[in-house]
């Protein structure tokens, strides 16, 4: 077991700290424990019954071997890795890269232990065109990693078709075969068909694992392994957290307490959940969490078919940056938010602050310190200020940001989401509202079979000049 760890600190959501009106009383907490304890068992049973295969991803040694073998074959000749994907097929990749590789990874070869990484999770033509201008004469040293579970997502498919043409024009069919790795469903979908026809290298999105729960599958692990991230340590962290979040003793289970606290506040006037890392490296995990929470918990109906319109709104903020942007609202605006800080003890570097010039003795208090102390004091200062205004705060404490602790974090928040979904009695794993948007795009782009939907859309989207000022 690694010496580094993460822990959930929840004292500052309690009524003793923020008052009875805004906090959780001892009696509330007891009730939450009683409600959540059978839910822990329920999701453990669902896991045993094979209903939540994402929970077993960290235990899949064969996948790790397969990914490492493929990365080993490609890495030496690859200077640029380009991931094409969106949503659950990109956010985890971005989060792992930001968390675990140096800030200057793409720019400074001395700080890099793999290819440069570019993740395209959008379809802005100017952005892609600028990139293609740069990469066009480097395609022989570039691997394209296209990721789509369904294989039909318009954003990913369109990017892929653009790059496919470029590679075919420059490198021919063999080049296409050798420079593309497709990650998709084992048997089904358009991308699987293309991959089979062109004899591309492929990895699989495991059955029953939704995009937002797939970061510990080849979806997230392949690009991480290519970029020198220790994926075995990542999975070890997830496995160790899996034991903690499977514990049927509510008081020992950080996911159960996290889910119960979020559930309590949602039902008590705090429908927004702000996640605020005090670490640049953790900032994209907030994006990853935002999708996980929003797509899993935003649901119209409960499992009994009642209209419930459930959904805590996840909001991402970054400390210390957003102290100068959001904290005014967070302290003086409506008391409708639960805050979750991510705090890091050891940043690996302390960054001592230079001496103050004689002309500015008032900066002397900084001069004897370092950025680790400053950023962590700022977190505590913001938390104190919020608590003074009776805003409840959780903290996830990282000893250090390492592959092991990131694996722990991923598992903690995935299982928290499953538990929260079960507490809300909703289907955590579908996303019907996302599907309609995808289909409406097909209709607007003229795809066969979507003509009726196109007719329904046009009255809403055709611009009415009477309302244009």
Known catalytic residues?
A: 295, 324, 438
Eight-state DSSP code of residue 8: E
Sole residue written with tokens 């007719």:
455
- Cβ–Cβ < 8 Å for 233, 404: yes
Structure tokens belonging to residue 101: 């590789």
Can you tell me the distance from the alpha carbon of 169 to that of 195, in angstroms, rounded to the nearest whole number? Answer: 18
Size of the site for ligand PA5 (CB under 6 A): 15
Q: How far is the CB of 440 from ligand PA5 (least distance, A)?
A: 13
Site for ligand PA5 contains 220 (CB under 6 A): no
- Contacting residue, 23, 58, 87, 206, with ligand PA5 by CB under 6 A: 87
Nearer to ligand PA5, 144 or 401 (CB): 144
Strand ranges (DSSP E) for 297-445?
299-301, 307-310, 313-316, 337-346, 393-400
Can you tell me the distance from the alpha carbon of 285 to that of 292, in angstroms, rounded to the nearest whole number? Answer: 10
Binding mask 354-393 for ligand PA5 (x = CB under 6 A): ----------------------------------------
- Sign of the C-alpha dihedral, residues 378, 384, 386, 388? negative
Find residue 397's DSSP bridge partners: 7, 343
Site for ligand PA5 contains 75 (CB under 6 A): no
Nearer to ligand PA5, 8 or 410 (CB): 410
Site for ligand PA5 contains 431 (CB under 6 A): yes
Nearer to ligand PA5, 80 or 156 (CB): 156
Nearer to ligand PA5, 23 or 88 (CB): 88
Cis before 320? omega within 30: yes
Nearer to ligand PA5, 284 or 343 (CB): 284
Residues within window 140-169 making contact with ligand PA5, judged by CB under 6 A: 148-150, 153, 156
Stretch that binds ligand PA5, among 85-93, 249-257, 267-275, 446-454 (CB under 6 A): 85-93
Can you tell me the distance from the alpha carbon of 110 to that of 117, in angstroms, rounded to the nearest whole number? Answer: 15
Helix and strand element counts for the chain (H, E): 17, 12
| CA neighbor of 314 nearest in space, from 283, 340, 284, 278 | 340
Stretch that binds ligand PA5, among 72-80, 83-91, 340-348, 446-454 (CB under 6 A): 83-91
Site for ligand PA5 contains 253 (CB under 6 A): no
Torsion of CA 184, 188, 190, 191, to 10 degrees: 20
Q: CB within 8 A of 440, min separation 6: which ones?
A: 453, 457
Nearest-CB residue to ligand PA5?
Answer: 211
| CA neighbor of 1 nearest in space, from 251, 223, 347, 244 | 244
Site for ligand PA5 contains 95 (CB under 6 A): no
Q: How far is the CB of 226 from ligand PA5 (least distance, A)?
A: 19
Nearer to ligand PA5, 261 or 310 (CB): 310
| CA neighbor of 244 nearest in space, from 34, 66, 412 | 412
Binding mask 17-56 for ligand PA5 (x = CB under 6 A): ----------------------------------------
Q: How far is the CB of 85 from ligand PA5 (least distance, A)?
A: 6
Find residue 339's DSSP bridge partners: 274, 393
Nearer to ligand PA5, 101 or 153 (CB): 153
| CA neighbor of 428 nearest in space, from 274, 277, 265, 255 | 255
Site for ligand PA5 contains 89 (CB under 6 A): yes
Q: How far is the CB of 468 from ligand PA5 (least distance, A)?
A: 32
First vs last Cα of the chain: how many Å apart?
63
- Contacting residue, 23, 114, 115, 211, with ligand PA5 by CB under 6 A: 211
Residues within window 271-330 making contact with ligand PA5, judged by CB under 6 A: 295
| CA neighbor of 371 nearest in space, from 287, 284, 280, 282 | 280
Site for ligand PA5 contains 212 (CB under 6 A): yes
Point out which residues bind ligand PA5 (CB under 6 A): 86-89, 148-150, 153, 156, 210-212, 295, 431, 434
């Amino acid at each position: 077991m690694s010496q580094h760890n993460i822990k959930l600190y929840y004292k500052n959501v309690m009524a003793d700290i923020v008052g009875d009106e805004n906090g959780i009383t001892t009696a509330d907490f007891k009730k939450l424990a009683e409600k959540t304890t059978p839910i822990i068992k329920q999701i453990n049973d669902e896991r045993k019954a094979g209903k939540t295969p994402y929970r077993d991803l960290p235990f899949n040694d064969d996948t790790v071997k397969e990914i490492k073998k493929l990365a080993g074959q490609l890495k030496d000749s690859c200077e640029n890795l380009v991931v094409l994907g969106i949503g659950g097929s990109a956010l985890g990749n971005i989060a792992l890269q930001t968390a675990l590789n140096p800030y200057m990874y793409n720019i400074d070869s001395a700080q890099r232990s793999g290819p440069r990484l570019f993740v395209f999770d959008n379809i802005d033509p100017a952005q892609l065109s600028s990139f293609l201008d740069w990469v066009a004469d480097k395609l022989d040293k570039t691997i394209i990693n296209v990721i789509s579970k369904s294989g039909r997502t318009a954003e990913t498919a369109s990017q892929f078709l653009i790059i496919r043409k470029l590679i075919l024009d420059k490198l021919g069919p063999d080049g296409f075969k050798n420079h593309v790795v497709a990650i998709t469903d084992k048997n089904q979908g358009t991308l699987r068909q293309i991959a089979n026809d062109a004899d591309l290298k492929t990895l699989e999105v495991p059955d029953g694992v939704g995009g937002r729960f797939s970061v510990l599958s080849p979806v997230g692990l392949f690009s991480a392994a290519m970029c020198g991230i220790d994926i075995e340590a990542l999975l070890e962290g997830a496995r160790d957290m899996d034991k903690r979040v499977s514990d049927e003793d509510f008081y020992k289970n950080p996911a159960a307490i996290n889910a119960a606290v979020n559930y309590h506040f949602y039902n008590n006037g705090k429908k927004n959940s702000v996640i605020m890392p005090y670490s640049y490296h953790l900032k994209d995990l907030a994006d990853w969490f935002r999708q996980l929470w929003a797509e899993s918990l935003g649901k119209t109906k409960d499992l009994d078919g009642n209209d419930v319109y459930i959904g805590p709104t996840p909001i991402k903020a970054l400390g210390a940056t957003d102290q100068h942007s959001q904290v005014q609202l967070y302290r003086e605006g409506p008391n409708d938010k639960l805050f979750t800080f991510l705090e890091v003890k050891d940043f690996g570097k302390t960054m001592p602050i230079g001496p103050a010039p004689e002309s500015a003795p008032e900066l002397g208090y900084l001069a004897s310190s370092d950025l680790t102390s400053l950023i962590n004091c700022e977190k505590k200062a913001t938390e104190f200020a919020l608590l003074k205004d009776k805003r409840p705060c959780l903290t996830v404490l990282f000893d250090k940001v390492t592959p092991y602790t990131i694996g722990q974090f991923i598992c903690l928040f995935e299982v928290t989401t499953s538990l929260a979904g079960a507490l809300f009695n909703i289907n955590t794993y579908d996303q019907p509202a996302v599907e309609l948007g995808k289909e409406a795009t097909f209709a607007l782009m003229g795809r066969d079979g979507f003509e009726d939907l196109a007719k329904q859309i046009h009255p809403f989207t055709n611009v009415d000049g009477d309302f244009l000022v």
